[in-house]
Amino acid sequence: MSIVPRSMVRVFKTAGWFEGRQIAVPSAVPASHPASALLAELGGLTLVNPAPNICSVAFQHTTDAADLMVGWEAALGTELVGIAVEDDGHAELYLSDRGHVIGCSLVHPACFLVGRTIEEALEAIGSGKRAQPMLLSDEEEITLYGNTYRQGDQAVIGPNELT
């Protein structure tokens, strides 16, 4: 059974995906983590302009933002594994062991929720749905999509909303 939502099959087929696709996953990705299954099916694929506000999403194991994700790992009590590079290296996407897909900017300090599930995240990528800003309790504000969000703003996701 594929992890690609029915609504995204055309987009992924354009990138070279096919039903039953499986590739080798880097040994650094724990076999029991959901990132292993995702990368086995989608690893090596790049979605080019999947939505008007997204240049590209390249599915690959990544660790460049791992240091920035440590606080979120601790706050959520989960292991976050890098699964994709977004917008030609401007951000990375990480998958929690619960299925949350969290983005991390490599341009400025910002984390954002792409989807509460893999399916939701893949559909958001394909539709261009904007991610939700995330703040840890010791962070005061985040700038995302040109808007500044602060602790207490209704749009901001904190660790308690994901545990």
pLDDT for 59-86, tens place per residue?
A: 999 987 777 799 999 999 999 999 999 9
pLDDT at 105: 92
Band (160; pLDDT cuts 50, 70, 90)? very high
Q: Are 34 and 78 in contact (CB under 8 A)?
A: no
The mean pLDDT of the chain is: 93
pLDDT higher than 80, residue 147: yes
Q: What is the pLDDT of residue 84?
A: 96
Share of the chain above pLDDT 70, in %: 100
Residue 50 has pLDDT above 90, yes or no: no
Sheet holding 81-86, edge to edge: 46-51, 54-62, 81-86, 91-95, 101-105, 111-115, 132-134
Q: Please state the φ and ψ torsions of residue 61, each to the nearest 5 degrees.
A: -70, 135
Q: Domains of the chain: which residue ranges?
A: 6-133
- pLDDT band of residue 99 (cuts 50, 70, 90) is very high
pLDDT in tens, 103-136: 999 988 899 999 999 999 999 998 888 999 999 9
pLDDT at 67: 79
How is residue 130 annotated by DSSP? Answer: P
